[in-house]
Homo-oligomer: A and B are copies of this chain.
C-alpha cells in the first residue's frame, strides 16, 4: 500500500487532447518527494532548452507532496510550476486551500499539462480519471462566477477549482493560479502559463483518503496542535498575517513608496488589527489546519468587497498599501479582491504599481501614458484603477502587466532604477537593508525575489529560535551581518524552509523540526530523519538551480536591484544600505557552502552526493 502518496501522475496533452497516467515507483517519490522536487525533475527531464515560457512547449505542473491531504495542520497546499514567464527561470508557486488535498483524494500526486488547447478548456479530474472539457463559456469570467458555472456544469457543488481569471487569460506575466477563490499560487506567473495553454481551470473531486502509515501517531500530533495552536501560532491564529505592521514600519522593514522611503505614519490604518476590528467577518482556513489564518473581509460603499475572496495578507497590505503610499484599508481590500478576481499576484501587482507611481512622480510617465490617471503615491483610487487595468491589460496596464523589469526597459530613461525585482520577479515586502540575510536569499533564490523560503534575520536576535538549534545553529547572528556565520545560518534555514515546497507544507503551521520529521514518518511510514529531509530539500534547490544554469543564468543574475544599495530616504534605514562588496562575498561563501563552484554551478560531486548525477549531463559541470 502506498502511504502518503497516491503513486499516480496524470499527464494531459492539450494539443493532442491526450490523457495518460504514470506510476513512478516508491523510490522515486522518496527521492523527489513532491512540489519542487517533482516539478524541477520533470521540467529538467522534459522541457526543451530556451523555449518561450508562454508557448505550448512549456509544461505546467501541479504537484502535491507526501503530506498533502493528510489530516494535519499545514498539509493543505500544492505547488504549481513551469518555466516562468516573468523570470525565464525555474518558476514555482505554492497555494493553500483545499484543492491540493482534493487532487490527492482524486488519486493523483501531480498533473503535468502539456501543449495548448485549440479553444478554452478546463480539466475535470475525479476518481482517478480526467476529462478535457469546453470552457469557451467561462473565458473572460472572473473566478467566482467561473467556479459557480463549473460546479453547475459538473453538477457537483463540492468540486474544488484551481483557476485563472482574466489576468491569467491575458497572460499578465505575474498572473496567479487561484485555489478555492481565495488561495493564490501567486509568484512566478503560473497563471499566465494556464492562460497561454487556454486552460481556464482544473476542477477536482476526490473521495479517496490519503493512506496514513501510522494514524495514531498522526492523531497525536494533530491533537498537540489543536491544544497548543494559541500558544505556538501567536498572532497568526488571531490576526492572520499583518499583525506586525507597526513594528515593521518602525524598524524599516515595511516598504514605503516603492521601497524608496521608510516612514508611513498611518501604518495602523492598514494593520491586521484594524482589519479585525473593522472589516473582518470571519477567518478561513486550509484543509485540516488548526491555525486558520485566512482573513475574510467584507466592505460596502465605494469599495465593496465580497468575503468569498478572502482578505489581504501582509504582503498585500504592504504591496498595495504602504508601497503605493495608500493608507485606505478598504481600497486595499478592494484591490486584493480584484487581484483574486483577475488572478494577479498581489506582490508583483503592488510593486508594479508602486514602480509606475515613482516613474510618474519623476516624470518618466505622465497622464497621457496613464490614460488620465493621477498616478501619485497615496492615490488609493488610482491604485485600484491600476489593478483593473493590469488585469484587463488596458492602457498603461498592458505595460505594467509585463512586470517591472520589462516595463522599465520599455520606459527606459533611468526607470531601471525604480524597478525593484530580482531576475524579473518583483521583490516581496521584506527589506534587505534591514534583513541582510534575506537580501542574500532574494539574490540567490532560483525563483527570483522570494520571501517564503528565506530567513527573516530580525527574528533571530538576541536569542536564536529554538527551532534553529535543531539545525545546529546555536548562536544568533546580528541582522546586519553578512559574514560566514550569517551565510551558514542562511544556508540551513533556507534549506529547511524550502523543504516546505517539497512536502508540500505550509510555513505557518508552527511545527518544530522534529515534529515535521514525525509527521512525514507518520504519514509515509518512511523511517526518515531531519537529515534525509534536509537532503531532499537541498536536492530540489539544486535541481531548480541546474534548470536555471541550463537556461543561461549566470552568477551576475544572483543579485539585488540598485535600490537596496542606497539607504531609504526616511525612517530607521535612512543611513544604512546593503554593501555590494559584502553581498558579493556572502554570495561566494554561499556558493562554496552549497558545493557550487565560483560561478555558482554545482560541482559534479555535489550532484553525485545528492544522488542527482544525471543532471550533470544537462549542463557543463566540472
Interface residues of A (CB under 8 A from B): 27, 30-31, 466-467, 469-472, 474-475, 484-485, 487-488, 491, 512-514, 517, 521, 526-536, 589, 592-593, 595, 603, 605-606, 608-609, 611, 613
Known A27-B475, A474-B31, A532-B470: A513·B527 in contact at CB below 8 Å: yes
Whether A30 contacts B474 by the Cβ 8 Å rule is yes
CB closest residue in chain B, given A526: B469
Cα–Cα distance between A50 and B347 once the two chains are bound (Å): 61
Q: B residues within 8 A CB of A530?
A: 517, 529-532
Cα–Cα distance between A593 and B491 once the two chains are bound (Å): 17
Q: B residues within 8 A CB of A595?
A: 592, 595
Report copies per complex: 2
Task: Name 13 A/B residue pairs within 8 A (Cβ), A-sorted.
Answer: A467-B527, A472-B536, A484-B605, A485-B608, A487-B608, A512-B527, A513-B527, A513-B531, A517-B529, A517-B530, A531-B533, A592-B603, A592-B605
Whether B535 contacts A472 by the Cβ 8 Å rule is yes
Whether A513 contacts B529 by the Cβ 8 Å rule is yes
Cα–Cα distance between A92 and B233 once the two chains are bound (Å): 47
Pick from B475, B488, B593, B611: contact of A472, CB below 8 A.
B611
Give A263 Cβ to nearest chain B Cβ, in Å: 37
* Seed contacts A27-B474, A529-B531, A593-B608; 15 additional CB < 8 Å A-B pairs: A31-B474, A469-B526, A469-B527, A470-B528, A471-B529, A472-B532, A474-B611, A484-B609, A484-B613, A485-B611, A487-B608, A512-B527, A514-B521, A529-B530, A589-B605
Cα–Cα distance between A531 and B531 once the two chains are bound (Å): 4
Q: B residues within 8 A CB of A531?
A: 470-472, 513, 529-531, 533-534
Cα–Cα distance between A484 and B616 once the two chains are bound (Å): 13
Give A465 Cβ to nearest chain B Cβ, in Å: 11
CB closest residue in chain B, given A592: B605
Cα–Cα distance between A608 and B485 once the two chains are bound (Å): 7
Pick from B474, B513, B517, B609: contact of A488, CB below 8 A.
B609
CB closest residue in chain B, given A533: B531
Q: B residues within 8 A CB of A528?
A: 469-470
Q: B residues within 8 A CB of A608?
A: 484-485, 487-488, 589, 593
Pick from B474, B487, B527, B529: contact of A466, CB below 8 A.
B527
